[in-house]
Amino acid sequence: MSEKLQKVLARAGHGSRREMEAVIEAGRVSVNGSVAKLGDRIETGVDLQVRIDGHLVSIQTEDDVICRVLAYYKPEGELCTRTDPQGRPTVFDRLPKVKGSRWVAVGRLDINTSGLLLFTTDGELANRLMHPSREVEREYAVRVFGEVSEENLQALRNGVELDDGPASFKRLIAAGGEGLNHWYHAVLSEGRNREVRRLWESQGLQVSRLMRVRYGDITLPKGLPRGGWTELPLEQVNYLRALVELEPESRSLMDKDKRSARRQAKIKTGKIRRAVNKHSRTRGPKR
């Protein structure tokens, strides 16, 4: 059975089908040494040398690939990029190795923002979840410094004009605080660059802490340490796939041991904490 080349590359975690079409059109993909063209199809069950920018790509059939999703607790100070020329830590540094594929981040959080960040091995799933037309809710816990008036809150709910167009919070709920520091829970249904911070700045207010706590119905897992990750069960993976009209996944790599769920959670949390501590020691003190 042959498949379109862009579909095979997307399945391998190199981006969405649309992104792979652009990569093919740019002449960056080769098959057995020949530059590929948009519309090319390949046989996924035979031995082929497929490369992107000269780097060999692992080709797998649809039956070989399992859609996996990780929930990661991003700390402040990590970049949402695979590599950094200055050697700063990135969100990919602590993720588990995945054979024959790679992790794709579902959106981004800026360097000073912490909280829930999803990763998947399915580039198409990531691309659809990020697309503005899907309007997937993102919820943030926000600490704001300054005097916040009712007029400020109404403006943020009703909409303000930013440099890239109008924006507003879908919901904005007070969550306590003292003095000039106030906490709010803010919900958006899009993921524009620094949108939460820019909305508050439009009212002359400064965000002093920002943390994403929910993406769709997926919440930041309780007990997960900063810099830790956990794999989502099949039910949550298929919730995300249904959200963007993708066929459900039928398999999972989650541990199927018969020990109790409480015991499994304790073991997993211990392993994650040890991995986080080991990584922190190897990187040395923060600068």
Residues 159 and 117 in one domain: no
More confident of the two residues 65 and 144:
144
**Residue 104 belongs to domain with CATH number:** 3.30.2350.10
Domain region containing 40? 2-64
Which tens digit of pLDDT belongs to each residue from 57-66?
Answer: 888 777 777 8
The mean pLDDT of the chain is 86
Residues 155 and 273 in one domain: no
Q: Could you tell me the end-to-end alpha-carbon distance of the chain, in angstroms, rounded to an integer?
A: 53
What pLDDT score was predicted for residue 44? 76
Q: Which H or E element spans position 143?
A: strand 138-145
What pLDDT score was predicted for residue 256? 46
Measured CA angle at 282 (ends 276, 285), to 5 deg: 90
Residues 123 and 257 in one domain: yes
Contact present, 130 and 190 (Cβ < 8 Å): no
**Surface-to-core class of residue 139, CB atoms within 10 Å of its CB (0-12 exposed, 13-18 middle, 19+ buried):** buried
Active site residues: 110
Q: pTM of this prediction? A: 0.78
What pLDDT score was predicted for residue 70? 96
Residues 39 and 82 in one domain: no
Residues 12 and 123 in one domain: no
Residues 33 and 54 in one domain: yes
Contacts of 58 (CB under 8 A, 6+ apart): 12, 100, 101
Which tens digit of pLDDT belongs to each residue from 178-236?
Answer: 778 899 999 999 888 899 999 999 999 999 999 999 999 999 999 999 999 999 999 99
Spatial separation of the C-alpha atoms in residues 172 and 140, rounded to whole Å: 10
Residues 127 and 224 in one domain: yes
Beta strand pairing call for 206-215 and 114-120: parallel
**Residue 22 belongs to domain with CATH number:** 3.10.290.10
Give the Å distances, CA to CA, from 71 to 93, 114, 117, 185, 218. 14, 13, 6, 20, 9
Q: Report, as an integer, the average pLDDT of 264-275.
A: 54
Of 215, 241, 275, which closes a domain? 215
Residue 83 backbone zone (phi > 0: left; psi -120 to 50: alpha; other: beta): beta
Residues 9 and 45 in one domain: yes
Spatial separation of the C-alpha atoms in residues 155 and 153, rounded to whole Å: 5
How many independent structural domains does the chain possess?
3
Residue 285: is its pLDDT beyond 50? no
Distance from CA of residue 89 to its chain's centroid? 16
> Residue 286 — very low, low, confident or very high, per pLDDT cuts 50/70/90?
very low
Residues 155 and 123 in one domain: no
Angle between helices 123-130 and 234-243 (to 10 degrees): 50
Residues 202 and 229 in one domain: no
> Residue 108 — very low, low, confident or very high, per pLDDT cuts 50/70/90?
very high
Contacts of 233 (CB under 8 A, 6+ apart): 252, 254
> CA gyration radius for the chain?
21
pLDDT over 90, % of the chain:
60
Residues 182 and 42 in one domain: no
Of 215, 234, 263, which closes a domain? 215
Residues 122 and 150 in one domain: no
- Ramachandran angles phi, psi of 114, nearest 5°: -115, 180
Of 163, 186, 215, which closes a domain? 215
Distance from CA of residue 259 to its chain's centroid? 30
What pLDDT score was predicted for residue 287? 39
- Cβ neighbours of 131 (radius 10 Å): 15
Which tens digit of pLDDT belongs to each residue from 111-134?
Answer: 999 999 999 988 889 889 998 889
Rounded to 10 degrees, what is the CA torsion of 177, 214, 112, 71? 140
